[in-house]
Structure 1
Amino acid sequence: MNLSDSIGLAIMTIILTFITNIVFKLIQNSTDFLVDKKKFRREHNFAQLKNLYLDLYGVVSQSEYLRYYSKRYRNIGYEFRAYPFFEIIERVNGEEIKNGITEFNKQQICETIIKKSQYASQELLKLAVAYRYVNHNYLKDHSKKRR
């Protein structure tokens, strides 16, 4: 092997190493993006669970217990599609009593979702805003007319 062949082989080795490193870096950057995306989703889902859904769990579990109680002890089975949420309203002499149990209602769910909207999905947020609007403009007027 003479000098020109050695120089040609060295240049080819440099070019091949350079191209291999470029391809390796491109693949590494694309997989790093996917890893970062998965990490972001995992952290967002955990924050959503910790900051939004754990607060709503008490409200929803009370409603589900009322459904269970009525089915078990009163033999009244309420279908979920017909009655998705139960809330307790206590009245004494026509006045509503506010306590820890009666404050767990649909309005509180909506307010919690809206207050922590950075953790709510778009669909959940739209439902909460729509219920708050309907409750404010239609349901309260309807209940006043019945009295």
Structure 2
Amino acid sequence: MEPGAAAVVLNERAEVLLLWRHRFITNTWAYEIPTGQINLGEESAAAAAREFEEETGWRCGTLQPLVYLQPSNGLMTSEHYVFLGEGASLIGPAAEGSSPRALSGYRYGGFHRWSPSVEYWVAHRSRRCSTHSHLDHSSAAESR
């Protein structure tokens, strides 16, 4: 499985933008952070910014490494590079799904919501991955 990149992006009230998505394979709905595949040769931060913009219609101002994880380590190889972003601005409709109405808005289906659920992560920023060396997908791809 190709590595993925995700963006946990905060607004000025320390709320995070979440997506409400239906997954057909499991026939379930769930909140998700914008996530997607890192293209060959693409840096993980660039992929996180691209996926965030495509899926939400918002552009992130800054991105910092938050955590590297393998959420299904016992089942499959699935690397995820998660970034913390701030300073988002609405640039237009989402390329994938519907666009958000407002920072606190709801939309059924392509639902986007700014949620305060990331407060714990923000309060513990010092515990996140602090080096970019683990987050450089392009160099990892070259070593394969």
TM-score under structure 1 length normalisation: 0.29
The structure showing larger relative contact order (alpha-carbon pairs under 8 Å, at least 6 residues apart) is 2
TM-score under structure 2 length normalisation: 0.30
More strand by share: 2
More helix by share: 1
Mark the structure with the bigger radius of gyration.
1
